[in-house]
């Protein structure tokens, strides 16, 4: 009988429970097989002993890890003052590019040129050019610090990308919102500030999270112009101990920060998709 119940479950519920159990068992088995293959076959490679010695050396990791963590605070610092500056500059550039008034035409041109230039040049090149170029003017301390000019290079580059994301967010707000706000007598500026921007910013939070994660990693590029941050510190250990493990240590520290951040960004993205459907 179709509606007969066993242990309080309908036939459909029992079937679905069985299906769930089956997929779980298959997933678990295949994971175990893949892991076992890696654990068994990788150490059979001829150079494994050397690789293990120079990349996965426990002693070296233990010796270098505290110093690496310390150096990572430099990354955090540069990140901490660059991120707000990027958010502000990116938003201003986005607004400049959307300016309608003819008096602001130069601003529009500037916004477009800015995004074209800084999106078109590799980050490392911008870091080099600004980081070495501007202190080369012979500025007095502390204005010749690579921290300032390296950060500026990151701020300029990332603002260009962030501005484009803000712009797509502004475009994503339906024009009927603008109509409604204008019909109430609000000015263009008020419509932008009170109605369009709050919605636009909310719409792009997940994408901007991804930019933050990218920025966190790109802070390491400043090591090329001086600051002893984690990548540079790992390099120091590599030379000192003739071992690559410090780089693996640095990677681990990055992952500790970026994996939760990436998961969170994905969660926000998924929630947004759900809200829109």
Partner 1 sequence: MAKLELREVVKRFGNTTVCNGINLDVAEGQMVCLIGASGAGKSTLLRCINLLEPIDDGEIFLDGEDIAEPGLNPQGVRARIGMVFQSFNLFPHMTALENAMLAPRRVHGKARVDLQPDIEALFERFGLADRMGNYPDQLSGGQQQRVAIVRALAMRPEVMLFDEITSALDPQLVGEVLDVLLMLKKQGMTMVLATHEMGFAREAADKVCFLKDGRIVEEGAPDQLFGTPKHPETQAFLARALK
Beta bridge partners of 9: 6
Cβ distance 246 to 68 under 8 Å?
yes
The span from the CA of 193 to the CA of 214, in Å, is: 28
Structure tokens at 165: 């994301």
Instruction: Give the shortest CB-200-to-partner 1 separation in angstroms.
Output: 10
The span from the CA of 264 to the CA of 124, in Å, is: 28
Closer to partner 1 at the Cβ: 84 or 198?
A: 198
Binding site for partner 1 (CB under 8 A): 176-177, 179-187, 190, 194-195, 198-199, 202
The span from the CA of 224 to the CA of 244, in Å, is: 19
Closer to partner 1 at the Cβ: 71 or 191?
A: 191
Instruction: Give the shortest CB-180-to-partner 1 separation in angstroms.
Output: 4
Closer to partner 1 at the Cβ: 181 or 225?
A: 181
Structure tokens at 221: 């590029």
Closer to partner 1 at the Cβ: 50 or 175?
A: 175
**Interior angle at CA 110, CA 105 and CA 116, nearest 5:** 130
Instruction: Give the shortest CB-192-to-partner 1 separation in angstroms.
Output: 12
Closer to partner 1 at the Cβ: 72 or 166?
A: 166
Cβ distance 85 to 148 under 8 Å?
no
Structure tokens at 248: 């693996």
Instruction: Give the shortest CB-173-to-partner 1 separation in angstroms.
Output: 10
Instruction: Give the shortest CB-8-to-partner 1 separation in angstroms.
Output: 36
The span from the CA of 157 to the CA of 15, in Å, is: 55
């Amino acid at each position: 009988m179709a509606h007969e119940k066993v242990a309080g479950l309908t036939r459909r519920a029992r079937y679905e429970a069985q299906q769930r159990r089956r997929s779980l068992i298959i997933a678990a088995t295949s994971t175990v097989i893949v892991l076992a293959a890696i654990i068994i076959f990788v150490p059979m490679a001829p150079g494994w002993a050397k690789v293990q010695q120079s990349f996965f050396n426990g002693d070296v990791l233990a010796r270098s890890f505290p110093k690496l963590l310390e150096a990572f605070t430099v990354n955090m610092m540069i990140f901490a003052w660059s991120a707000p500056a990027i958010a502000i500059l990116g938003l201003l550039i986005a607004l400049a590019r959307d300016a309608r008034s003819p008096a602001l035409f130069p601003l529009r041109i500037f916004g477009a040129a800015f995004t074209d230039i800084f999106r078109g040049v590799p980050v490392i090149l911008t870091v080099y050019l600004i980081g070495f170029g501007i202190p080369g003017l012979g500025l007095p301390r502390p204005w010749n610090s690579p921290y300032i000019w390296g950060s500026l290079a990151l701020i300029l580059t990332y603002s260009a990308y962030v501005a484009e994301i803000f712009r797509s967010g502004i475009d994503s707000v339906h024009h009927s919102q603008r109509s409604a706000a204008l019909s109430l007598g609000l000015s263009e500026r008020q419509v932008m500030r009170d109605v369009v921007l709050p919605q636009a910013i909310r719409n792009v939070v997940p994408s901007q999270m991804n930019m933050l994660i990218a920025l966190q990693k790109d802070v390491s590029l400043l090591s090329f112009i001086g600051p002893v941050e984690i990548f540079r510190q790992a390099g120091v250990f590599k030379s000192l101990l003739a071992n690559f493990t410090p780089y693996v240590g640095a990677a681990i520290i990055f992952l500790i920060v970026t994996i939760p951040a990436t998961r969170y960004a994905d969660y926000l993205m998924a929630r947004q998709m759900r809200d829109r459907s």
